[in-house]
Amino acid sequence: MKDPLREKCKELLNDEITYTGLFDLSTTPLPCVEEIRAKCKCDACGFYNKNWMCPPAVGTVDDCNRMMSRYSRFLLFRSEYPVVDWDNTDDLTECLQMHQENVRRIRTEIRKMLGCDVLPLSGGPCRYCDKCSYPKPCKHPDKSIPSIESYGIDLMTFLESNKIRHDKNEGTVSYFGMILFN
């Protein structure tokens, strides 16, 4: 028997987004570990302590776990975009912004469809504003999206333990997104 919610979630995707799965957090938990968060602290992406949706502003891993524990299910999806020049950071930033626009759109649709609060997460730092207002208050809390990594989610372990393919196609960049809901 087809799950109507699963089918509706698939309908929310477009040509650049592939459906990965709809999961129940009670049977398929997200592994959240300090080691992932420690990578954020190394500031490899340049947003640690500079973005409201990245550490330390999002709280501790325990804080993030408490936030996620309010939800029972999540939709996981992947966006993929062609990249010609890997050294062109503007192109990569544009791809991330397109992905996050899709996350926002899907968040809005799921919120409307289910009539409940949702928690969106996206790979990479929130890129809604050209320059985050941090440490001044966030100018767009309704548009901001925390990063998967900032929550300490070990996405690669999750994908591998659930036998979800995550191989990258040549000449493309991929980002994952997820929407947690009840």
Q: What is the pLDDT along the chain (182 residues), one digit of tens a residue?
A: 567 777 777 777 777 778 788 999 999 999 888 898 888 888 878 899 999 999 999 999 999 999 999 999 999 999 888 887 878 788 888 999 999 999 999 999 999 988 989 999 998 899 999 899 999 999 999 999 999 999 999 999 999 999 888 777 788 888 999 999 99
Burial (0-12, 13-18, 19+ Cβ within 10 Å), 114? middle
pTM for the model stands at: 0.90
- As a whole number of angstroms, the distance between CA 141 and CA 136 comes to 12
Alpha helices in the chain (DSSP H): 4-11, 34-41, 61-68, 89-114, 155-161
CA–CA distance, 57 with 37 (Å, rounded to integer): 12
Q: Where are the domains of the chain?
A: 4-181
Dihedral sign (CA 155, 76, 128, 141): negative
Residue 79: enclosing H or E segment and its boundaries? strand 73-82
With CA atoms as reference, report the closest residue to 159 among 21, 8, 17, 16. Answer: 21
